[in-house]
Amino acid sequence: MAIPRKFLGKDERVIITMRTHGKAMILPIIGFLAVLAVTSALVVIIPDDWRSWGHWVIGALSLIGFVWLFVLPLLRWLNATYTLTDRRIITRQGILNKTGHDVPLTRINNVTYDRSIIDRVLGCGTLVFTTAAEEPLSLPDVPHVERVHVMVTELLFGNTVGAEAVADELEGRKTGETPTAPEAASEAPPRPGALASDDD
């Protein structure tokens, strides 16, 4: 998912790379369940004299529906990424034919975000960048859009360390990092009477 090093400038540092929010897969999942339900129903109601070839037809149509409604959207989602470096914002999308857009941070005049009610519930939003020479660039379905907004603002003010701190926070939240058992045990408070027993 990360941008290959050969596509970065000399000494350019990647702050964070992320996919669009998983809400993009809600409709494909519904489509997959619909294909599964229709396939099951057709297998049950198909007449006996059609079963010799009907199962093959149903299977072929189900496979086409599965690929069209679920597999292709999944591949598009997996290949749609936003990358923030200390110099620019990079967008990439596409399965075979890759398309993208790069916006240097030096050309950004303003950055805002927008969140609908659904976005608030799901924890995402749209990030909007305004430049002097172009139409505003909108990045839809950005996970943790408020924190990403802070990250971009830090970079616009030249605070790379602050932006990396926010990125580390988001990466930790996404990977669900928790203390290991030994660490948790070492941080646990002593049991009542433990100090007294040690003194004895």
Between residues 69 and 193, which one has the greater pLDDT?
69
Residues 51-100: pLDDT tens digits? 778 888 888 999 999 999 999 999 999 988 888 888 888 888 888 888 88
Quick: pLDDT tens for 114-153.
888 988 888 899 998 888 776 778 889 899 888 889 888 8
Verify that 68 and 103 share a domain, yes or no: no
Same domain (yes/no): 48, 142: no
**Same domain? 106 vs 161:** yes
Does the residue 3 lie in any domain? no
What pLDDT does 198 receive?
46
In this model, does residue 1 exceed pLDDT 90?
no
Please check the confidence at residue 171 and state whether its pLDDT lies above 90.
no
Same domain, 86 and 115: yes
State the pLDDT confidence band at 173, using cuts at 50, 70 and 90: low
Host H or E run for residue 15: strand 14-19
